[in-house]
Amino acid sequence: MKSTYFRILSYARTGRWLVVSYSLCTLLSIVFGLMNITLLVPLLDVIFSKTEVLEIAKPEFSFSFQYLNKFFNWQFNEILREYGSLGTLYFVCGLVLASVILANFFRYLSQRIMIRVRVGVIKNLRKDFFEKIISLDLGFFSNQRKGDLISGMSNDLQSIEESVVATLQVFFKDPLIVMFYFGLLFYWSVQLTLFTLIVLPITGIIIGQISKRLKKDSGESQQLLGNLMSIAEEAISGIRIIKAFNAQKYTSGRFEEQNEAYRKKLKGMVYKREVASPLTEFVAYSVIVGIILYVGPQLLNHETDMTAQKFIAYLVVYVNILAPAKSISNSYTSIQRGLASGERIFKVLDEPAIIHEKVDATVIHDFEKEIEFKSLSFAYSRGDTGWVLKDINLTIPKGKMVALVGHSGSGKTTLSDMLPRYFDPGEGQVLIDGMNIKDLSLHSLRGLMGVVSQESILFNDTIFNNIAFGLTNATQELVEAAARIANAHHFILETSDGYQTKIGDRGSKLSGGQRQRISIARAVLKNPPILILDEATSALDAESEKVVQDALYKLMKNRTSIVIAHRLSTVQNADLIVVLDKGNIVQKGTHEQLLLQEGIYRQLNDLQKLS
């Protein structure tokens, strides 16, 4: 728990001086706030005419509370001597007003500084969290729900944000207020103040137990919230299927089940959290009643040295301790929630990177000879004996088109994922121009490749920005030239704002063929020497497929291409067709050569002819 707490605070790395400034301003606001209360005694003395001029010598200067007290008494006495009770009343009221102004001024400054620390911590943490997510390998997302990540980015970070504020209050501001105020109470009456401290440990134990339970409940509630976010995200993404299968009631039922579970858990958390504040207040006011019952009879019978004015001031000071004491109890429960959220955030941040880049990785500038898969085997889980790819040996010369075909699940996409290092082989190597890709920098390696997948991954932005995605130096002329090669220029001009038209979430305002041509234009603009085309036309109708296929042929010209296809008609002109089955290469050759052989390729070809 401590390590999580200090790790959260470490994200204030750019604002350490702000923490020091906050501490100083808070200290000054407490000192001037305390002065407001201590001035009550002389103010009441003047009002009730309990003052008289005394012979007091001016005290010698020293750094102590005693000196300040003596100096004030001397100054008070001198003003009383010179201006009388009315002048002294004006003087004390002026001091009260000045101390109130200064106390609130420094309190305001401390809050401004604290807000800067708060938003700085969350900004740094959110930045690291997002950068970690987009840097993780694809295998992480296979086992992680998007709803949990979205919940972490929003609700967990919000809980941590609240926790940071609570931390500054609990570990500096509020305890300092309580310490100063109790110091004044001890100065006025040691015996009476010791009496008030008897019940504090009992309150602390109860609140501590509540906070422990809250931390556990917080983890469970965020898990339930992650379930909710996942169901909502799936529903929005699959709204067409939900409506097509009349599954609104079923989907709503799944959501409501999780929503009700979250409601119950959240309700229980709030009940536990809210009991801390009234419990603290009840105990504190019980002590005040006890003080009155203890001192009151002594004042009435004149059996104590404490004056009525000082007793009133004592009660006012004690009442002013209630607010920071309640804040400490509330903040402590907030910290527990924040720590639970922090542990979930740091679990993602500490996720080990499976794809490592060497410190002295080689930067590759061009592709010159060939790609080679050498004795490559791969399983998705470490130590898994169920190999997805087994002993793959394949050489792809520069400028050639190689097609990967086979039944679904045969390992085609997985093999292509090895090249840009989305995954690393369990055994064997992937070589580019004789260099193991593990020795190359990821940025330069992936810079050699362009990808067009079956699902057109577009972003809720303009057509121009989607084509120029990842490139900072793309001009209008270059983007338009890429769009022409991709057979996309004409339909883009027909949209409402041309290249500045926003295409909606995942390109929802465009047809499937249009989305795919935008994806091809993006690959054209990147101008990579190596292309990976993963079922790029399988989801299109015949008319769109013809247009897109024409764009793909233009794209593949003079480039090394790895094409994954179910429709054999799209790869008949490939220089080499590789047939995979259950992770093994079972056939290699051209279209004509493979048709002459008994095997999977001819079976697939015959089936597609029949269909």
Q: What total of structural domains would you count in the chain?
A: 1
Instruction: Flag the least confident range among 6-15, 128-137, 401-410.
Output: 6-15
> If DSSP states are collapsed to H, E and C, what string results for 316-372?
HHHHHHHHHHHHHHHHHHHHHHHHHHHHHHHHHHCCCCCCCCCCCCECCCCCCCEEE
Q: What percent of the chain has a predicted confidence (pLDDT) above 90?
A: 7
Average pLDDT over residues 385-389: 77
pLDDT of 318 above 90: no
Q: Are 168 and 117 in contact (CB under 8 A)?
A: yes
pLDDT of 431 above 70: yes
Instruction: Flag the least confident range among 68-77, 267-276, 473-482.
Output: 68-77
Q: What confidence score (pLDDT) does residue 64 get?
A: 60
More confident residue, 12 or 65: 12
Please state, in angstroms and rounded to a whole number, the distance separating the CA atoms of residues 608 and 566: 9
Q: Which residue's structure tokens are 């090394």?
A: 560
- Which residues are within 8 A (CB) of 441 and not within 5 positions of it... i.e. 6 or more apart? 357, 361, 362, 363, 364
pLDDT of 42 above 90: no
Is residue 451 assigned to a domain?
A: no
Q: Which domain does 140 fall in, by range?
A: 2-349
Distances (CA, A) of 72 to 43, 80, 305, 434: 13, 12, 21, 87
Residue 287: which pLDDT band, with cuts at 50, 70 and 90? confident
Instruction: Flag the least confident range among 95-109, 254-268, 275-289.
Output: 275-289
Give one word for 399, left, alpha or beta, with left for phi > 0 and alpha for psi -120 to 50.
left
Is residue 445 assigned to a domain?
A: no
More confident residue, 318 or 145: 318
Q: Which residue's structure tokens are 């469970």?
A: 220
> Token pair of 107, please?
């309190």
Is residue 194 assigned to a domain?
A: yes
Is residue 427 assigned to a domain?
A: no
Q: What confidence score (pLDDT) does residue 430 get?
A: 93
Single-letter code of the amino acid located at 435:
M
pLDDT of 310 above 60: yes
Exposure string over 421-438, b if 16+ CB within 10 A, otherwise e: bbbebbebbbbbeeeebb
Is residue 85 assigned to a domain?
A: yes
Bridge pairing between strands 427-432 and 370-378 = antiparallel
Cα 382 versus chain centre, distance: 28
Average pLDDT over residues 3-8: 77
Give one word for 22, left, alpha or beta, with left for phi > 0 and alpha for psi -120 to 50.
alpha
What confidence tens digit (pLDDT) does each residue in 168-209 have? 666 777 788 888 888 878 877 787 777 777 656 666 566 666
Is residue 11 assigned to a domain?
A: yes
Instruction: Flag the least confident range among 11-25, 69-83, 267-281, 436-450.
Output: 69-83
Is residue 441 assigned to a domain?
A: no
Please state, in angstroms and rounded to a whole number, the distance separating the CA atoms of residues 443 and 464: 23
More confident residue, 175 or 464: 464
Is residue 559 assigned to a domain?
A: no
Q: What confidence score (pLDDT) does residue 402 get?
A: 92
Please state, in angstroms and rounded to a whole number, the distance separating the CA atoms of residues 583 and 577: 15
Q: What confidence score (pLDDT) does residue 393 get?
A: 93
CATH code for position 199? 1.20.1560.10
- From the list 469, 486, 463, 453, the residue with the least C-alpha distance to 552 is 486
Instruction: Flag the least confident range among 40-54, 362-376, 509-523, 594-608.
Output: 40-54
Q: Are 445 and 528 in contact (CB under 8 A)?
A: no
Listed in sequence order, the DSSP H helices in 169-247 are 174-188, 190-196, 200-237, 239-244
The DSSP code sequence of 251-301 is: HHHHHHHHHHHHHHHHHHHHHHHHHHHHHHHHHHHHHHHHHHHHHHHHHHT
What confidence tens digit (pLDDT) does each residue in 396-413 have? 999 888 999 988 888 888
Mean pLDDT of the chain: 78
89: how many CB neighbours lie within 10 A of its CB?
Answer: 18
What confidence tens digit (pLDDT) does each residue in 217-252 have? 766 776 777 777 777 777 766 665 676 666 778 788
pLDDT of 29 above 90: no
Q: What confidence score (pLDDT) does residue 375 get?
A: 92
What confidence tens digit (pLDDT) does each residue in 557-580 have? 788 889 888 778 778 888 899 999
- From the list 551, 535, 462, the residue with the least C-alpha distance to 502 is 462
Question: What three-state secondary structure class fits 64?
Answer: coil
